[in-house]
């Protein structure tokens, strides 16, 4: 093999290693590789609170909290205004949420928009992954990170 080829291969390998080391963003810990697809029963009896969102066009509304709870075959969500609820299951590695019913409180526009966005996101079949007290929901360029309350 020629020296230019080996040099190019070495530079490519270093670039891959550097990029891999950077891939733990989006609220994902270095242990993210240990994440697995949970069963709904693995998520019950816990309130999951979002502590971050990685999305080029969205952030959690300041002063609000996004929380999820699971009960056998139901998901309940609150994003700071209305409570959303609907059927939930896991198919392969996707969270499957049926159409969500919502309370009808009137809130400030940013919170109403966050409710609508969360409902749309949850019903889009996001990928679901769990690693101990961390839960990730992701779809396209959006990653929503939750932690189990009390951790």
What mean pLDDT do residues 75-94 have? Answer: 94
> Could you tell me the pTM of the whole model?
0.74
Whether 11 is covered by a domain: the verdict is no
Alpha helix (H) ranges present in 23-145? Answer: 109-122
- Specify the higher pLDDT residue, 135 or 12: 135
Which residues span the domain enclosing 35?
Answer: 26-148
- Pairwise CA distance, residues 80 & 39, whole Å: 26
Task: Choose the weakest-confidence range: 36-50, 89-103, 134-148.
Answer: 36-50
pLDDT band at 109 (very low <50, low <70, confident <90, very high): very high
Count the neighbouring beta carbons within 10 Å of the beta carbon of residue 104.
5
Whether 12 is covered by a domain: the verdict is no
Whether 8 is covered by a domain: the verdict is no
Whether 58 is covered by a domain: the verdict is yes
Whether 17 is covered by a domain: the verdict is no
Whether 40 is covered by a domain: the verdict is yes
Whether 35 is covered by a domain: the verdict is yes
How many domains, the chain? Answer: 1
Whether 63 is covered by a domain: the verdict is yes
| Residues in a beta bridge with 145 | 52, 136
- Pairwise CA distance, residues 104 & 83, whole Å: 9
pLDDT in tens, 17-51: 333 333 334 444 444 455 678 878 889 889 999 99
Report the CATH number that the domain containing residue 101 is assigned in CATH. 2.40.128.270
Paired tokens of 61: 């509304």
- Pairwise CA distance, residues 92 & 89, whole Å: 10
- Pairwise CA distance, residues 26 & 38, whole Å: 19
pLDDT at 148 exceeding the cut of 70: yes
């Amino acid at each position: 093999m020629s020296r230019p080829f080996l040099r190019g291969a070495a530079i490519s390998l270093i670039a891959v290693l550097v990029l891999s080391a950077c891939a733990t963003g989006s609220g994902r810990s270095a242990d993210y590789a240990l994440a697995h697809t949970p069963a709904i029963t693995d998520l019950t009896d816990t309130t999951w609170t979002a502590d971050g969102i990685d999305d080029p066009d969205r952030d959690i509304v300041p002063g609000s909290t996004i929380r999820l709870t699971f009960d056998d075959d139901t998901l309940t969500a609150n994003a700071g205004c209305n409570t959303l609820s609907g059927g939930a299951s896991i198919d392969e590695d996707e969270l499957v949420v049926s159409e969500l019913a919502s309370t009808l409180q009137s809130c400030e526009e940013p919170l109403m928009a966050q409710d609508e966005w969360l409902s749309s996101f949850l019903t889009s079949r996001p990928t679901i992954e769990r690693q101990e007290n961390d839960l990730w929901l992701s779809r396209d360029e959006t990653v929503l990170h939750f932690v189990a309350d009390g951790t």
